[in-house]
Structure 1
């Protein structure tokens, strides 16, 4: 996905223009596809307010730019609020229900005077969390108050209510081991600790967590507590966190990642072999496989003989919506039969989608669809295009993202329109990116541009997902991808934009696998690609 540049899945081409009418849309199922075409109808077509109000009842995701456009055109949706009118000035006069309703938010409580908060705390003594919140906001430092009173709910609510600067001012203190363990049992802790470690702030708080017992922590929290220990040069203490990350892992990648880090810290051959023998193909397992000489990738490359599925338009987002609904309602024992039906050249993405649900096959399908449209004979470029397409859309031509990114290569409409205006795409409509020949052509154009500045598939992936500006700032303004212990693995875990952080790892793994498929003799090395990330001459034109 290219933030501000590219994005997610594919759509249909309905002739010269793909703006569907009200009559065409009113009976379509709730879906991102319908939302996308409602937005197109509003901004490009002809629809009256009455029709828009009718269509709004069928909106799947009433948020983002669609909500903004609908609110501006026909007004925001209004919901009955029996506490309407209750505010900071009259909260003392409200009934109990409305008091509790309003006092559920830190920002509202913060607007009350200390005297009003004291009065409410006395009145609501049978509601301990509310009283704790009121008393905490009245204290000199609410964060310390919530920590001292061991109120996890209010501690995290207060954290969420502040910006980065105020968080640094209020939360940078040592936590007791007992309260730290309590925080770790809350689902928000993984976001909290990941943010603190990645942004390398709250130093005193983070240091107090090095000796915490992670016995009940989830995998992500435990992993980043391990990275936290490493940042404080407590390498030996990181291992307990990495082991807990393995014990609580829900995915193979999570356990492979922690095992490889145990190897990096301790040189444990056992941990390295565990990662190398993983059935999942990810950055960590592929790195371990290359180190140990394990060449068993266990990949599946579909080789369909049929061309297409009768009655299914692979470029129609609504056909894709209907197929997903059918899969959901089909008994599991019948899904393999349905998968076989979609084992065609034009529907490899749909086939793999159904097959994975049918039998839980590890996601080691690496299709190479539409190579006649790939647009280049360069094997490395081919591998990169397929690597990105696999991550963006799983080769579903007609999927649509929540940002209305389109096509196998997930271009945002404004980006697709811009590239089309600067290159020869004929009588272009943005839905044309649902066609593989258009998606691949546009991908080559976009990658030509990115590769003027970036030379490594990891950095190219960061830019494809987060934007080239994001990537430039990350490698020039942050202390990342420089020589140092555990580099560049450590920097890859500290990329501050979470989506790009994980996206680039997956694209890298895809790229290595596709390189081995398309050009085995090239011997593309994931070890070399990763090690090169600290060498500007091998990665980018921004660093000198």
Structure 2
């Protein structure tokens, strides 16, 4: 059995104290990139030091490059970037590799046959698929040529290479069902993504019918589920049931299996599907619903309190993203199970590291456990039980309740608050001296996060809608509601139908998870929330 000793020295700094030496002595990763981003913004940082700091970047982004450019640094762009910046007239004079980097398919319908021939000649030896796509778009009937290609990759790449007007002009037409099925059944990931986009779009009504009329069977379970739901939406019940049955024959994803069982129940009212669903060990809205409906005991387990927690603080600073990064990396190198458990007992069984312990225990248990902790709230006063349950429901999904997380977009802390929100939130809360580093303090993060949730609740009211807005932004959810195509009163299968028709997939999944979290947290706090009744309040259109 291997043990290790970690010695931490807390060097937590404000933006003005970030030095090149500080950056050079931190482990590479998104957290260090975040501090480099702040260092590059400091007017006192010299061009020479800025270049040295930039060389340490783990994941280069345009915003980091822009900050370096503002320091006066000019450098030769990578070929891929440089070629994308060229006008078409200059691009067509370059070699095939550069053309492949910079060519926008949306320009092909407007170029001359001579220019198209030049492109094809240069592309064919190194990018034959792209050369074929140019030829197809230059033809008189691009859709017909795409179908003749019998290549799902070509079809979907051309679709995504065009603007909306061009897509509608070329693709929103009838396609023989067997011809389309031949493409769809290649189970190409990009083609599946295209079908999902079309089915959830407010456009492409003819193209949607093409998809739904085609005998599609060999696609991933996520696509099978959406096809089944869309058939249910259009009252094509037999086809819907067939798609859900396909999933259940050989389910690969527990959540999609549970959704297929739920939808079989929803359209047939046959309780045998609900009974099977109630036996799911996967905690989600659908398994919660099944157990509530049947008044059965869930087969999933919920842990709201960890055992053998010492009433003292851990020997590392939970508000320092680097300390947790170092510790996590070391812990994850140890094989899970008997070898790791005693080390976790030594390092993480403290009052302020319960989320860290739950994170690692979940890894040992292959992510089959459901931890619903409510740490770091001892210094906060909650307005009501709802506020506490909802704040933790969001925090659990955002960060697994880990205080010192930094996302690739530099969202910070337990509530993953964006840096640009710090000042307005701090001003509203009377905490003008708050810094970005303060967002790694869990009490501060919870306070700022619940403030933002309250702002969103004033506009969107229902926790599900607030979750969508928290994830995708209030503008996204405002526009979505304005279309009045979701959460429609008296529409069959709503609100369950609308849960699956959210156009932004990340927000769709996020909302469902947060709502399940909220229901469980309310249950832990002594309040039973009936899923069916609660969702019925989302029917606003």
**Hey, what's the Cα distance between the residues in 2 that align with 1:63 and 1:482?**
41
The CA deviation at 1:181 is 3.8
**Counterpart residue number, 2:530:** 525
CA RMSD of aligned residues (A): 3.1
**Hey, what's the Cα distance between the residues in 1 that align with 2:397 and 2:11?**
23
| Contact 1:263/1:272 (8 A) holds in 2 | yes
| Contact 2:306/2:354 (8 A) holds in 1 | no
User: What's the secondary structure of 1:452's corresponding residue?
Assistant: helix
Which stretch of the first structure deviates more once superposed, 216-225 or 358-367? Answer: 358-367
Which stretch of the first structure deviates more once superposed, 303-312 or 508-517? Answer: 303-312
**Hey, what's the Cα distance between the residues in 2 that align with 1:474 and 1:45?**
41
Task: Give 5+ residue unaligned stretches, structure 2.
Answer: 1-9
The question of 1:356 aligning with 2:362 is answered yes
Matches within 5 A, 1:160-171: 160-171=160-171
**Counterpart residue number, 1:540:** none
Structure 1 413/135 Cα, relative in aligned 2: closer, same or farther at 3 Å?
closer
User: What's the secondary structure of 1:339's corresponding residue?
Assistant: helix
TM-score by length of 1: 0.87
Matches within 5 A, 1:78-93: 78-79=77-78
**Hey, what's the Cα distance between the residues in 2 that align with 1:93 and 1:451?**
55
Structure 1 160/243 Cα, relative in aligned 2: closer, same or farther at 3 Å?
same
Using CA pairs below 8 Å that are at least 6 residues apart, which structure has the higher relative contact order?
A: 1
| Contact 2:487/2:494 (8 A) holds in 1 | yes
Task: Give 5+ residue unaligned stretches, structure 1.
Answer: 1-11, 537-542
Once the two structures are superposed, residues 476-505 of structure 1 have per-residue CA deviations (whole angstroms, 9 ceiling, x without a partner) of 333211110000111111122222211111
The question of 1:317 aligning with 2:321 is answered yes
Which stretch of the first structure deviates more once superposed, 241-250 or 146-155? Answer: 241-250
**Hey, what's the Cα distance between the residues in 2 that align with 1:128 and 1:467?**
40
The CA deviation at 1:383 is 0.6
Matches within 5 A, 1:489-504: 489-504=496-511
**Hey, what's the Cα distance between the residues in 1 that align with 2:253 and 2:93?**
52
The question of 1:453 aligning with 2:459 is answered yes
Once the two structures are superposed, residues 104-159 of structure 1 have per-residue CA deviations (whole angstroms, 9 ceiling, x without a partner) of 86357667531343466579888863553232022134233212321222211111
Once the two structures are superposed, residues 445-488 of structure 1 have per-residue CA deviations (whole angstroms, 9 ceiling, x without a partner) of 22332232333211121222223333233223332111100001
Matches within 5 A, 1:19-58: 19-44=17-42, 46-58=44-56
**Counterpart residue number, 2:151:** 151
User: What's the secondary structure of 1:209's corresponding residue?
Assistant: helix
Matches within 5 A, 1:119-268: 129-176=129-176, 177-184=178-185, 185-247=187-249, 249-268=251-270
Structure 1 52/172 Cα, relative in aligned 2: closer, same or farther at 3 Å?
same
**Counterpart residue number, 2:7:** none
In the alignment of these two chains, the number of paired residues is: 522
| Contact 2:16/2:42 (8 A) holds in 1 | no
Structure 1 91/346 Cα, relative in aligned 2: closer, same or farther at 3 Å?
closer
Structure 1 92/293 Cα, relative in aligned 2: closer, same or farther at 3 Å?
closer
| Contact 1:83/1:98 (8 A) holds in 2 | no
**Hey, what's the Cα distance between the residues in 1 that align with 2:11 and 2:431?**
14
**Hey, what's the Cα distance between the residues in 1 that align with 2:140 and 2:513?**
46
